[in-house]
Amino acid sequence: QKEVEQDPGPLSVPEGAIVSLNCTYSNSAFQYFMWYRQYSRKGPELLMYTYSSGNKEDGRFTAQVDKSSKYISLFIRDSQPSDSATYLCAMTNAGNNRKLIWGLGTSLAVNP
């Protein structure tokens, strides 16, 4: 079993839809959770960062962490074609020299 599981998709939604992206993990020591967005042939761009459990909102994006279920989510409201990209979750813990453990990434297409 991989430390971080993420459905690679592809996920295709109409413009304006609410998108839900998810990762599960097995290491209960993880404390820091990140979502990166990566456009084709570009570097990953940090979207959201959450420490421990709870929700965090930034504009149309909401990140949720449920440590009891070892499950994290990224919600995108009012999705736009410009949101079409690969979304990668990453996580780590303080004792791991902060080495990031990555999901495979979910490919999202938002259709106009």
Binding interface with another protein (CB under 8 A): 8, 32, 34, 36, 41-46, 49, 88, 90, 92, 94, 97-100, 102-105
- Of 106, 70, 110, 74, residue with least CA distance to 88: 106
The least distance separating another protein from the CB of residue 16, rounded to whole angstroms, comes to: 27
Between CA 103 and CA 69 the distance in angstroms is 17
Alpha-carbon dihedral 55, 91, 86, 71, rounded to 10 degrees: -50
Q: How far is the CB of 97 from another protein (least distance, A)?
A: 6
CB of 45 or CB of 78, closer to another protein: 45
The nearer residue to another protein, 25 or 44, going by C-beta atoms, is 44
Q: Which residue has the tokens 């991989």?
A: 2
Question: Shortest Cβ distance from residue 50 to another protein (Å)?
Answer: 11
Q: Would you say 43 or 112 has its CB closer to another protein? A: 43
Can you state the percent helix, strand and coil of the chain, rounding each to 5?
A: 5, 55, 40
> Residue 37 or 83: which CB sits closer to another protein?
37
